[in-house]
Chains A and B, each alone.
Chain A
Amino acid sequence: GAVVSQHPSRVICKSGTSVKIECRSLDFQATTMFWYRQFPKQSLMLMATSNEGSKATYEQGVEKDKFLINHASLTLSTLTVTSAHPEDSSFYICSARDGGGALSYNEQFFGPGTRLTVL
């Protein structure tokens, strides 16, 4: 099956620093990638939709200047949490959708997630 990787799996940083999370599709081209966030004991929430070569679409309430998304290639999207604060501590998960190859168009493949702790 299709594989999506995320790096790093876990990061601890000081308040005010920026953190970059990478999401890669390893064996397929992902024209669309999604970034989700999960706070403890809550459901996953969509943050933004990232389309290769264009600007990301952010969900209501998600600050685009704080959560910078770059989808520069068909296999890589990055999420940068700028000037991170303790309230940004969360579990960040990406998913990727195949761009119309052999995989089902509606299928989403999830990365293993990144646990961010901001001190």
Chain B
Amino acid sequence: KNEVEQSPQNLTAQEGEFITINCSYSVGISALHWLQQHPGGGIVSLFMLSSGKKKHGRLIATINIQEKHSSLHITASHPRDSAVYICAVRGGGADGLTFGKGTHLIIQP
């Protein structure tokens, strides 16, 4: 079973700061997802990666398959970025996702 570790668990930063959230996993995967969960519980899929790097607006996600590690970066952070960010992986033989515990991000104005 894949073990997914995220760090930090909690992060409070000032508006405008550059944010990095890390994710590591223990077993090889076919895809890694970064998800955003707001207080109401709804989940938004931010990225799905299998290699390299993706960028969408102020969000950047990278993955290093050899090191079994991924990072999510937020540039010019804003209070509306406050949410829980979750890393989830899909194994080669498994269908469903295995989730990290999430990083609770608060951006203060």
Contacts and interface: CB of A to CB of B under 8 A. Distances in A.
The secondary-structure label for the interface of chain B is strand
Interface stretch (A11-19, A65-73, A105-113): A105-113
B48 A106 contact: yes
Interface in B27-47: 30-31, 33, 35, 41-45
B93 interface: no
Contacts of B31: 106
Nearest to B90: A106
Interface residues of B, number: 22
Contact of A49 (B33, B35, B95, B102): B95
Contacts, number: 54
A54 interface: no
Interface residues of A, number: 24
Nearest to A109: B45
Contact of A43 (B44, B50, B100): B100
Contacts of A44: 86, 88, 97, 99
Interface of B: 30-31, 33, 35, 41-45, 48, 50, 86, 88, 90, 95-102
Interface of A: 32, 34, 36, 38, 42-46, 49, 57, 59, 91, 93, 95, 104, 106-110, 112-113, 115
